[in-house]
A and B are shown apart, each in its own frame.
Chain A
Amino acid sequence: GEDVEQSLFLSVREGDSSVINCTYTDSSSTYLYWYKQEPGAGLQLLTYIFSNMDMKQDQRLTVLLNKKDKHLSLRIADTQTGDSAIYFCAERGTNKLIFGTGTLLAVQP
C-alpha cells in the first residue's frame, strides 16, 4: 500500500546541519514535497522536487532524491532555533497526496 515513513525525532545544535529523512513506496510518484509545521500552526509548504531531479537547492534547504531506494531527504544548513518544528514529507500518490508521519526537529541553543 501507500505509506510514507519518517523518523520521529531529531535533535541538533544551533549552527549545525540537520538532515531529515523520508522513505516512500510509490515509485511512480511525480512530485515529492516537504512541509514545515511550527507549534500551534498549520502546515507550510517549504519546497518540492520533481521525480526527474536528484537534487534541489533553495537557500539553506537542500532536497535529495534517491529514486532507486525511494528515499527523500531534507538538509537544513546552519540550523537556527526558528527551524524547530515538525517536518512532513509528502508524495503525490495515485489519487491523493500522502503525508509522512512527521519528524520533530529540536534545535538546541
Chain B
Amino acid sequence: SQTIHQWPATLVQPVGSPLSLECTVEGTSNPNLYWYRQAAGRGLQLLFYSVGIGQISSEVPQNLSASRPQDRQFILSSKKLLLSDSGFYLCAWSVLLVAEQYFGPGTRLTVT
C-alpha cells in the first residue's frame, strides 16, 4: 500500500531564516506530487505540483520554491521566511493530475 510522509511535523522559525520541508511517498512509482498551504484551518491553496523528476509547476508567485530531486521526494524551500509564510503545509500525491489525491499528515510552520 502507498504511504506519504512529511517532516517535520511542526516547525518554529524566525523571520529571515531558510526553510526546507520534505515529503516522501512509498509504494508507488512516478506519482504526481503537490504542495498546498492552508491558512487558519480553512481553504487549500495549491502552491506547486510536479509530474516528474525536476518538473515543477508553480501556481502562485511567492517567497517559496519547490524541487523534486527523486521520483518520490518533494521538497518545499525558502531562502528567507516571511511572517506571512506561517501556516499548515500539506503534501499530496495522485496517479493522474485529475484523479483523487492522497494527503500527508502536514507540517505546522510558525514564523516568529
Residues of A within 8 A of B (CB): 31, 33, 35, 39-45, 48, 86, 88, 90, 92-97, 99, 101-102, 104
Is B106 in contact with A99, judged by CB distance below 8 angstroms? no
Is A88 in contact with B44, judged by CB distance below 8 angstroms? yes
User: A-facing mask of B1-33, CB < 8 A → 1, else 0?
Assistant: 000001000000000000000000000000000
Contact residues on B (Cβ < 8 Å of other chain), bracket: 20 to 34
For window 68-106 of B, CB contacts with A under 8 Å fall at 90, 92, 94, 97-106
The residue in chain B whose Cβ has the minimal distance to the Cβ of A39 is B41
The residue in chain B whose Cβ has the minimal distance to the Cβ of A86 is B41
Binding site of A, secondary structure by majority: helix, strand, loop or mixed? strand
| Cβ-Cβ contact count across A and B, 8 Å cutoff | 55
The residue in chain A whose Cβ has the minimal distance to the Cβ of B101 is A97
- Cα(A96)–Cα(B101), bound, Å: 10
B residues within 8 A CB of A93?
98
User: What are 16 inter-chain pairs, A to B, with CB distance below 8 A?
Assistant: A31-B100, A33-B100, A42-B103, A42-B104, A43-B44, A43-B90, A43-B101, A48-B100, A88-B44, A94-B98, A96-B49, A97-B94, A97-B99, A97-B100, A101-B43, A102-B43
